[in-house]
Amino acid sequence: MAQIDRDLYRTIAVAYASIDTNLSGVSTDARTALDAIVDVDTTTYPDATPSVADADAALEIELALLTPFNIAYVSAQNISVSVSALLDAVRAVNNHVVNSTAGTATATVKLDTWINVDMAGNWGGGGACPEGWANLSTDAGYNTGNWVTV
């Protein structure tokens, strides 16, 4: 079996590392928006002078926005943890590397060597594997403890 080109592997790894980074912030950003709605100050909204009208306005805003923003937050959580198709792709490319590498070394050693030695000159930017790629590879079931990451 032909070995994957290092530039192609880097392109895949960097793109998927970016996906990992972007997904990790999805639910955090949605939670920040939800918390802002819940934390609308009911005694001084929209100005610093407390009044019953301010409290009523804040309550109206909270009631109008809480349900849709909570639904959006739950949806964002589901997006950030629903990565099974991504993990299948990560497994496919890493298995290709392992299966295309000659020798009797374990899959872990073959992949460690590929990441830290064979790819070292191809990663660019410090010569280390992107952290997001290592995260996804770990989630896909690979031992990435020896990978040099940035």
Q: Which two tokens stand for residue 104?
A: 């009797």
Confidence of residue 130 (pLDDT cuts 50, 70, 90): very high
Measured CA to CA, the distance from residue 73 to residue 93 in angstroms comes to 32
Q: What is the DSSP letter of 5?
A: P
Domain ranges within the chain, ordered by starting residue: 6-23+83-139, 25-81
36-86 per-position pLDDT tens digit: 888 766 666 666 777 777 778 778 888 899 999 999 999 988 887 788 889
pTM of the predicted structure, to 2 decimals: 0.77
Measured CA to CA, the distance from residue 58 to residue 42 in angstroms comes to 5
**pLDDT above 90 for 103:** yes
pLDDT greater at residue 59 or residue 12: 12
pLDDT at 41: 65
